[in-house]
Amino acid sequence: MRADENRLRADLEILQRIADANGGIRAVGTSGYEAAVDAAAASLEDIGFAVETPSVSFTGFIELPGASLTVDGRTFAAPDELHALIYSAGGDVTGPVAVLDESGCEPGQFADVPSGAIVLTTGGGCFRRDQALNAADAGAAAFVVGYPDRGAGEIYRPTLIDPAGITIPVVSVTDDGVRALRDAEGDDAHLAVETERAPATLRNVIASLGEGPSVLMLGAHLDSVLDGPGLNDNGSGVVALLEVARAIVETGVPEGWTVRIGLWGGEEFGDIGSRAYVETSGDDVAAYLNLDMAGSPNGATLVYDEAGAPSGSEEITRAFEAWLDARGEPHAPVDIGGSSDHFAFGQAGTPTGGLFAGASETGSAAQPAASGSTGGPADACYHLACDDLDNVDVARVALFAEATLGVAYALMEGGIEP
């Protein structure tokens, strides 16, 4: 099958229009997400799948306008130079600035931090949640994640995954904020941020075709971040699966199988939709394939090959590699550490796999030399307002759709045990 690039572009345009009509975003808890659910459900129904949109309870998150950090007479303010991380507590705190030499991923790294401090780290390598919990346990008044290489307007706000245990303000700052905090070590700084964390619901889109007892599931998250329209992340994965769905309707589902498509809500808040699905209804899934960022403009073809994936996943990796080799497409393995919706399936023992075109990494995760990318970040607009229609390499989305379809049939027609 050849994916139709014009149709992929038309499907992407629908998501762009939805974002444009809803304040520029499609994040869970917003009208843009609701419109995206309705549109995707209608598309899958038109294509010929049976569609449901089950609701999932979660904790919504809003950062109120006006957050700011004042250091040495300079103020760094939201939305350009400072943001609360998703699920941060609010607070109005004054305390001495402490700068960690290390990431803060280990509790012991806070040993020299005075109680009541506003603590900066520029390191990572673990969940932001773990750093924030360690900071709170050490008696910090607030925790600041610094991005020394990002300027005003390019700020990230990662998720703390769950509000549980997050009792202090946790914010991110850009380059100038990092410099100011480093220069002010030991001096008092002032941070004020207000957030709302309240019960909410979101909908997943679950679409099925076929009657067989064995289920092959294909998934992509449908929500954007709070800061942009999310056309590459992850409109690209969504429209690729719509194209795969059309081809499956045309070819038919093999005897004994059901193909199920999951378009997840709340990946950007912490894999909320996929985790809820696995907890309640994922028991019958024989294998799960994930597409999250399929059209990074300076991207590569990266095949999930994850150390933490359950047995059977290797077979999926090999199936993708074999398909790409047969097509003569360069590719490289990638271990994204379960940092998307396949994580919950893997935790439940379901074999997982997928394709990734790269995000903001310029190092090992993007592997540009091995995979055909030309260097630089795979997606310079990752999690930013510029992740729009122009930020998607539709040819790669088409390739990913074709590869996913090929692997889906390879698995159903004998590659993987039902």
The site that binds Zn ion (CB under 5 A) totals a number of residues, namely: 3
Residue 81 vs 341, nearer CB to Zn ion: 341
Q: How far is CA 172 from CA 31, 89, 124, 160, 291, in A?
A: 26, 13, 13, 12, 28
Segment lying near Zn ion (by CB under 5 A), choices 26-34, 75-83, 287-295, 379-387: 287-295
Task: Provide the token pair at 100.
Answer: 């960690």
- Minimum gap (Å) between residue 352 Cβ and Zn ion: 15
Minimum distance from residue 359 beta carbon to Zn ion (Å): 8
Angle between helices 394-410 and 313-327 in degrees, nearest 10: 120
> Shortest Cβ distance from residue 225 to Zn ion (Å)?
8
Residue 281 sits at φ, ψ, to 5 deg, of -150, 20
CB–CB of 166/28 below 8 Å? Answer: no
From the list 173, 131, 403, 122, the residue with the least C-alpha distance to 290 is 403
What sign has the CA pseudo-torsion 315, 320, 326, 330?
negative
Q: How far is the CB of 192 from Zn ion (least distance, A)?
A: 31
The binder of Zn ion chosen from 63, 154, 233, 271 (CB under 5 A): 233
- Which of 259, 67, 100 is CA-nearest to residue 172? 67
Decide whether 292 or 305 has the Cβ nearer to Zn ion: 292
Nearest to residue 361, comparing CAs of 100, 84, 124, 101? Answer: 124
Residues 342-371 that bind Zn ion (CB under 5 A): none
- Residue from 214, 234, 290, 350 touching Zn ion (CB under 5 A): that is 234
Can you tell me whether residue 393 is helix, strand or coil? coil
Residue 228 CB, nearest distance to Zn ion (Å)?
11
Pick the closer one to Zn ion by CB: 224 or 258: 224
Question: Residue by residue, what is the 3-state secondary structure of 227-248?
Answer: CCCCHHHHHHHHHHHHHHHHHH
Do residues 171 and 118 lie in contact, with contact meaning Cβ atoms separated by under 8 Å? no
- Candidates 42-50, 153-161, 232-240, 319-327 — which segment interacts with Zn ion by CB under 5 A? 232-240
51 token code pair: 């569609």
Compute CA distances 71 → 74, 79, 84, 118, 189, whole Å. 5, 17, 17, 11, 5
Cα separation, 294 vs 305, in Å, equals: 16
Min CB(398)–Zn ion separation in Å: 19
Find all residues with CB under 8 Å of 285, minimum gap 6, and list them.
215, 216, 217, 260, 345, 350
Q: Which of 63, 81, 267, 306 is catalytic?
A: 267
Q: Choose one: 167-175, 231-239, 300-308, 404-412; the region binding Zn ion (CB under 5 A).
A: 231-239
Residue 292 in the binding site for Zn ion (CB under 5 A):
yes
| Complex with Zn ion: residue 117 or 222, whichever CB lies closer | 222
267 a catalytic residue: yes
Site membership for Zn ion, residue 227 (CB under 5 A):
no
Beta pairing partners, 74: 71
Q: Is 223 in the site for Zn ion (CB under 5 A)?
A: no
Residue 154 or 292 with smaller CB distance to Zn ion: 292
Nearest CB to Zn ion, comparing residues 34 and 233: 233
Angle, helix 5-20 to helix 31-47, in steps of 10 degrees: 150
- Select from 72-80, 83-91, 104-112, 233-241 the region that touches Zn ion (CB under 5 A): 233-241
Q: Which is nearer to Zn ion, 155 or 215 (CB)?
A: 155
Nearest distance, CB of residue 312 and Zn ion, angstroms: 24
Contact positions vs Zn ion (CB under 5 A)? 233-234, 292
Residues annotated as catalytic are 267
